[in-house]
Amino acid sequence: MNNMKKFVVGKHDFYFNDSKFKILSGAIHYFRIHPSDWRQSLHNLKALGFNTVETYVPWNVHEEREGQFDFSEGADLNKFIELAQNEGLYVIVRPSPYICAEWEFGGLPAWLLEKNCDIRSDDPNFLKFVANYYQKLFEILAPLQITHDGPIIMMQVENEYGSYGEDANYLRSIRNLMLKNGVDVPLFTSDGAWHATLAAGNLMEEGILETGNFGSKANDNFSNILSFQNEKKITQPLMNMEFWDGWFDRWGEPIHVRDQDEMVAALKEVIEHGSVNMYMFHGGTNFGFMNGCSARKNHDLPQITSYDYGAPLNEQGNPTSGYFKIQKMIHERFPKIQQEKPWTKESMELSKIKLQDKVSLFEVLDEISERTVSKYPQTMEKVGQYYGYLLYRTKTERDAINEKYRIIDGRDRAQFFLNRKLQMTQYQEEIGNDIFVTQEQSENEIAILMENMGRVNYGHKLLADTQRKGIRSGVMSDLHYIINWEQYALDFSRVDRLDFSRKWEAGVPAFYRFLFDLDKILDTNIDLRHFGKGVVVVNGFNLGRFWQKGPIHSLYLPHGILRAKNNEVIVFETEGKFSDEISLVKEPIK
């Protein structure tokens, strides 16, 4: 690639030096794939016959806490891009402050919710935070541009802004911050391919490429873009920046399945008209607590841990039937493009791994949590617990044997315990309903475990009250607010501190510990059908959430997390449903 230094957006085509260049790109999110698998995914993209990889850059991965930047290990963006270059791929980077991507809060860091700023706007306070982040981010990205012998050929200004706002000054501000930090490759925006979103989200008159996002009907969608170009009297190359080859899944809903022949036909239609970026090529996994959330009026629909997406590579990274159908179509359409056989990985199984230890959450709060105290309950954001769980605890003097409690203004999921006995679980809109209890003791302990199940990542609810998690107003006994609370922010990086010699109680949240050795280290999946709801940590790595309501009842476990001896699985389960053994299986359980 070093002989191609000049990438140009022409009137009708892209060019490298003086030669036309059709972008055949696939999306691989480095932050959704364990680093041990980056090379395989990139190799398989090149083997397909594609020439470019695209990735978003999530702000909340690289600056989870204000001013603390992380570009190491799974967040090593530089390494990912260099691996892509080594595989012979060019790179499209989408470093927008907001990315959507079915990712927690659309990639925005949750600490912004505690700041006096309007996100995705020309608010100077918001732009100040973006500027601080961009200064660090572009120290990495700027030297990797094609203009500096790197593989990056284009970067995105904002993401689907036409589906959120229409403030061109904001788009210019983001563009200017990029230029200030050394960006000198062509810039683009991407929006839905209809007039309203194209008009609201573009900067075409300032030389920025407008691209369209759609998963079918290329003739109609590109016609819309051409009509908009004619209206602007500006001619640009056509590019489908997100060809949606599948879709994401949500808890309690069927898995989306797209007919692969229909998908390939739709992709071929796109390629006949212009360039393309397949979203996704390899979907991967929403590790930890980073799944996003859809919204339907007041009700939120959090997405599952698997981001398989029905992509050409499955969650594990192996080629699907769709991969080979695309490869065949590319060969027929472009017979001179070099293709290779894709790499595949083996999987393993291991049955009946025995439970070693178990302990109740209430017994180990000090070891697993960071404690704060306040007169009234504080939100998760206020105490710096941006993701996962926060347990609230207080003691009350009995006013009546039969009492009524209410959690006022809380989100997302609440489990209410009286003296360590579960009284009620409330979810979203149910929070605030009466909780009737019988208090046999004169002094009683109230504990409420709140779970943030993922912030909305797209649309009008980005700044809704429901984006602030935990208890926002307080807890009432009878008709008055209760004071003097402790908050315990559960920190799953501390699982090595758990004291399993302490007591376990049935029916309450608890930790379950399993150990196993391996003769051969391969990918696998943890069967969680006999557990209710919670998260799994393997060798200190948070694999993500599970929930019995499905649609998937296992968690993908990459080989890069495992070791030959003393593999430790910690299951944190909140519903009191568990098994004395777990199994590793070759395929996900659907």
Mean pLDDT of 504-514: 98
- Three-class SS state of 90: strand
Catalytic residue annotation = 160, 242
Predicted confidence band of residue 544 (pLDDT cuts 50, 70, 90): very high
Predicted confidence band of residue 5 (pLDDT cuts 50, 70, 90): confident
What is the average pLDDT value for the chain, to the nearest integer? 97
User: Is residue 2 scored above 70 in pLDDT?
Assistant: no
Residue 212 CA to residue 221 CA, distance in Å, equals 8
Contact 8, 186 (CB under 8 A): yes
Measured between alpha carbons, how far is residue 429 from residues 125, 302, 472, 476, 479 in Å? 32, 14, 14, 17, 20
> 52-56 and 581-585 as β-strands: parallel, antiparallel, unpaired?
unpaired
Angle at 18 between CA 15 and CA 23, to 5 degrees: 20
Nearest to 28 by CA among 313, 324, 330, 346: 313
Residue 22 CA to residue 471 CA, distance in Å, equals 52
Predicted confidence band of residue 80 (pLDDT cuts 50, 70, 90): very high
In degrees rounded to 5, what are phi and psi of residue 321?
-60, -35
**DSSP string computed for 14-66:** EEETTEEE--EEEEE-GGGS-GGGHHHHHHHHHHHT--EEEEE--HHHH-SBT
Tokens matching residue 141: 């990205």
Nearest to 224 by CA among 259, 273, 264: 273
Measured between alpha carbons, how far is residue 39 from residues 49, 374, 496 in Å? 16, 48, 31
pLDDT in tens, 371-417: 999 999 999 999 999 999 999 999 999 999 999 999 999 999 999 99
H-only helix segments in 142-244: 168-180, 195-201, 218-232
Torsion sign (Cα): 333, 93, 290, 45: positive
pLDDT in tens, 313-345: 999 999 999 999 999 999 999 999 999 999 999
Contact 188, 210 (CB under 8 A): yes
In order of their start, the domains of the chain are 7-333 (3.20.20.80), 350-358+498-585 (2.60.120.260), 365-490 (2.60.120.260)
User: Is residue 1 scored above 70 in pLDDT?
Assistant: no
Contact 294, 453 (CB under 8 A): no
pLDDT in tens, 563-577: 999 999 999 999 999
Predicted confidence band of residue 3 (pLDDT cuts 50, 70, 90): low
Mean pLDDT of 206-222: 98
Residue with structure tokens 């970067």? 155
Model pTM above 0.75: yes
Residue with structure tokens 């056989």? 341
Please count the residues of the chain: 590
Predicted pLDDT at 172: 98
Residue type present at position 549 = K
pLDDT in tens, 467-482: 999 999 999 999 999 9
